[in-house]
Structure 1
């Protein structure tokens, strides 16, 4: 198996469910890893692999919803399909609002689960690609010096006062020094104008990241 093989994680405290799903999904060409608890899954998952997480709602110690919330905060490239034997409407609504692909009640048809898994894998790959883009953008901002970050912050906070003279007066440095910094900023961020800089920051923040400003 390689990272290109569709990956499915199963987290369910029911041994029979883990065994049957592992066998069924493996026969369909998925790479499968199953865990009896959220804690066991978290200890094994490195946070990089794009995958579908088939997640039981009602587990001891950490519920499926609690694990979903934790993974969302960590910005992992996973898409969740919940399976449950006793979840209700409030739980399913909460799961869907938090980004779950579906909330299936046991027993469910394997054909339906497979369909949801395929949808989840597409979403997970999109999340992985978006995270890679954010990390690439953040890496550009990480090149900036403290003074360059100050100038970028001033340009973003006061778009009507972005001349080198205005920025220099605010920071107590000469316009020529500002010109030098601006040239370096554009080079490091790989943009050509203030408009492109604003767009770069928007792409970072809208994707869930924060520029190091």
Structure 2
């Protein structure tokens, strides 16, 4: 997916700001979706579309920081840029610690905002690529038999010293049978070594419960 497929989700309770930012960003080639409140945005957003969230901090009912925390709790990875005329240093620190791209105080230069959006899009694309690779790895892992998963977990848990003989003793099967399963595991995961298996298991959290 390229940046042309990404969306700027603008959430601000000030209609004038929504209109002016939408016009300016549309002229810059961005696709914009507007929302007058955090609740309105959440009624529509399901985590499937990617891009970035351009979010006003000081909104009534659910404010920007509260929406950010809600997004985190839902597992949504949409990068967030805060815009505010009310927030101070504590709020900006809290937002950045929670992963915000930036915290811009109104008024801000349009170029500054565009640079932030482009940085957010780069983050979104990198996240998409990581999520795709992780999904592909988990699909490959699920193709393993229960025995192969069991042996793979033993291979990963102590990769430096778990030999086929050790695994065979633990599972009460022959080392030759373990060797066969090892070869099948590497073949199905399309990897060449136990080191790669360890790396993939960490990256994709393969053995999470």
Under TM normalisation by the shorter chain, which class is it?
0.7 to 0.9
**Is 2:54 the partner of 1:59?**
no
8 A contact 1:3–1:49 mirrored in 2? no
Aligned match of 1:191: 191
> CA–CA distance in 1 between the matches of 2:102 and 2:3?
24
- The more displaced of 181-190 and 106-115 is 106-115
Aligned match of 1:108: 108
Aligned match of 2:118: 118
TM-superposed deviation, 1:50: 2.6
8 A contact 2:153–2:207 mirrored in 1? no
TM-superposed deviation, 1:85: 1.8
Aligned match of 1:129: 129
8 A contact 2:53–2:81 mirrored in 1? yes
Aligned match of 2:50: 50
Aligned match of 2:86: 86
Cα offsets for 1:165-209 (capped at 9, x unmatched): 2101111223233223222211221112111211222333xxxxx
Cα offsets for 1:115-157 (capped at 9, x unmatched): 2112211221111112112212222222222222211111111
TM-score norm. by structure 2 comes to 0.88
Any stretches of 5+ residues in structure 2 without a counterpart? none
Any stretches of 5+ residues in structure 1 without a counterpart? 205-209
Q: 1:211 aligns with which of 203, 206, 209?
A: 206
Aligned match of 1:68: 68
Q: Which runs of 4+ in 1 moved over 4 A?
A: none
TM-superposed deviation, 1:162: 2.2
8 A contact 1:8–1:54 mirrored in 2? yes
Aligned match of 1:13: 13
8 A contact 1:81–1:103 mirrored in 2? yes
8 A contact 1:78–1:127 mirrored in 2? no
TM-score norm. by structure 1 comes to 0.86
- The more displaced of 48-57 and 176-185 is 176-185
- The number of equivalent residue pairs is 207
Q: What secondary structure, in the 3-state scheme, does the structure 1 residue paired with 2:119 have?
A: helix
> CA–CA distance in 2 between the matches of 1:58 and 1:180?
61
> CA–CA distance in 2 between the matches of 1:36 and 1:168?
62
